[in-house]
Amino acid sequence: MADFRTKLADAVSSSREFSVAYDVLQRDSLSSLLNGTRRLSPALATKLLRSALIFAQSSRDSHFMLAQNIAYCLATAPITDEERIVCRHIMASVGNFPAGEFIASDVWEGCQLPWQLALSELARREGNTVLVSGKPELFTDFQRNVWNELQQRQHVSVRAPTSAGKSYIVQAFIKETLEKSDAVLDIAYIVPSRSLIHEVQGNLARLLEQLPTPPVISSVPRARPELASHQSRVFVFTQERLRTALDQSDLSLDMLIVDEAQQIADGARGMLLLDCLEDVASRMPQSRLLFITPGTQSAATIGRLLGVHGVVDVGTNLRPVRQNLIFVNFEEAKRDEHMVLTLQRPEGGRLAMSQA
């Protein structure tokens, strides 16, 4: 059945009629920015909605992306409440619940899905609801997969596009780990630049102050009196500060999180990061390692460089938000200069928008 659904999605996405309708939809979704008029008819909107339902049942990320984009674009159009909750259902089908709730936030509460779709959406929600620190959290598919692996594995590599919720899930895991542990823990969170230290430290402080016994959160690599031995500690470092901490203290980490781990390939700073990781892996073999990378770049191979086995790769190529990248060019025609706008398609290629 899954193979049939994917083949059906392939057939729809490759049809000329769909391509033309999808182009119209993308242009219409930006008409308010371009002072253009809408060309999407109600009948065409309905056909695109049905196409998105087909894409959402496929097994490929590329089809999920098409389904999401159609739902996002239709949400900017004057569609009915019934169509809007179908857009929400499409988002739920690909595991993007926050976007679905946003799209249908103004829908009349009496507007309901057909019972078959309502039941499948309810089952999807229940499957993605996870207890975090004793409270139910509704995760995307990617976040649920990451959470499950973090519960079971010692070493995990997490890869996903920006805005996929990587940092949120990792910080929630830090909180739950501290909350469940009876021991005093030392955790280091490595960020690629000093400018990010304050941001991450602030986020962790707000999150972890809710714990009965909040940990000390520090970005200072040298030992300080207030970093008491009876209290868990969370350090937010760059690789330079981590090197200083490893050299000048008896630091023993229970968990090491490396954000933007792909920077291990970036010249001198990358070599320094690798040196720190090798030090941690040899001196603290019990330490949990968690690597975070953007896009499709997996950090699981770093484990082999360190002699660490069993690094599990969890990733997605699906971006949960829609970002419009518009290119502006100027062309001359009959002594006049025209501004030509083209939209970078999320699935690749460009779409001509207008000429001003």
Query: Cα 185–241–169 angle (5° rounding)?
Result: 50
Mean pLDDT of 307-316: 88
pLDDT one-digit tens code per residue, 63-77? 999 999 999 999 888
Same-domain pairing of 30 and 111: yes
pLDDT digits (tens, 9 = 90+) for 178-193: 999 889 999 999 999 8
pLDDT reported for residue 354: 64
For residues 66 and 105, the model is more confident at 66
CATH code of the domain in which 150 resides: 3.40.50.300
73 and 115 share a domain? yes
Which amino acid would we find at residue 136? P
Q: How confident is the model at residue 93 (pLDDT cuts 50, 70, 90)?
A: very high
171 and 108 co-located in one domain: no
- Residues 6 or more apart whose Cβ sits within 8 Å of residue 304: none
Within 10 Å of residue 339's Cβ, how many Cβ atoms? 11
196 and 267 share one domain: yes
Residues 100 and 118 in one domain: yes
Last residue within a domain, chosen from 104, 129, 154: 129
H-helix segments, 153-209: 166-180, 194-208
Q: Return mean pLDDT, the chain.
A: 86
**Number of C-beta neighbours around residue 62 at 10 A:** 16
Residue 160 bridge partners (DSSP): 294
* Structural tokens at position 216: 């000390």
The answer to whether residues 231 and 111 belong to one domain is no
Report angle CA 164, 169, 175 to the nearest 5 degrees.
Answer: 160
Residue 134 lies inside a defined structural domain of this protein: no
Question: Is the per-residue pLDDT at 247 higher than 80?
Answer: yes
**What local confidence, expressed as pLDDT, does residue 319 receive?**
84
Confidence at residue 191, expressed as pLDDT on a 0 to 100 scale: 94
| Domain residue limits at 42 | 2-129
Question: Residue written as tokens 């057909």?
Answer: 114
Give the Cα separation of 75 and 105 in Å (integer).
11
Place of tokens 């990587």: 166
Integer-rounded Cα Rg, in Å, for the chain is 24
- Closest C-alpha among 140, 95, 152, 93 to residue 118: 93
328 & 310 share domain: no
Q: Tell me the pTM.
A: 0.84
Domain count along the chain: 3
- Quick check: is 223 in a domain? yes
- Return d(Cα 73, Cα 92) in angstroms, integer: 16
In terms of domains, do 208 and 310 share one? yes
Query: Of 107, 129, 151, which marks where a domain is finished?
Result: 129
- The CA-to-CA distance between both ends of the chain, in Å, stands at 48
pLDDT for 227 equals: 56
| Same domain, residue pair 77 and 217 | no
